[in-house]
Amino acid sequence: MRLPDIERGDSIRSRLLIRLISLLAGYRLPDAARVAFYDKKYAGPALGEWTNETMRRPSTWSVSERELMASFVASLNTCPFCVGAHRAIAVKGTDAAIADAVLADYRTAPISDRLKAALTFLERVTRQPDDVSATDAAAALSAGLSVQDLRDVAAVGAVFAIITRNANALDYDIPSTRDFDRAASMLLRRGYA
């Protein structure tokens, strides 16, 4: 359901900011950013800070790997906006063919066993959350993930379980590949908060 106030802004200040940022950026401000301007209690600073903490704080996972994980979770949740947005960020630090291979079938993609273990865990948590057990965590740990690695993977899964459903529920507009790429460059510079 597309809400007019998210499209244009829910206050004069938001409307002006959306127009100014779109003008300066040279492309339509993506809906994810527009939602951040909409009613700060809805999905504003708290969700942005959580996402930024998950995706940009120091980790043994690179930013590209975490963005690829986000795109993977989005693909499992059938969220085309988040698949495109986070794939575009991931390919700033990895080969586009690798990202596409992961999204097609991570089991056969040319990635490390460690990343495959992380994606296996994310798939389980995303598709069968009620069935996740200590056995799933133990499998990831025995595949080479540390406890902190697994916490970081779980954080990506948790935040994108919410974000993808939010994007789908609000019927986010799907930008062009070029606009996804331009927005990805901005998100790499500025982060999510």
Amino acid at 149: D
| Closest alpha carbon to 69 in 6, 142, 135, 163 | 163
pLDDT (tens digit per residue) in 101-139: 999 999 999 999 999 999 999 999 999 999 999 999 999
Q: State the pTM of this model.
A: 0.87
**Which domains are delineated in the chain?**
4-190 (1.20.1290.10)
DSSP letters along 137-179, please?
Answer: HHHHHHTT--HHHHHHHHHHHHHHHHHHHHHHHTT-----HHH
- 40 falls in which pLDDT band (50, 70, 90)? low
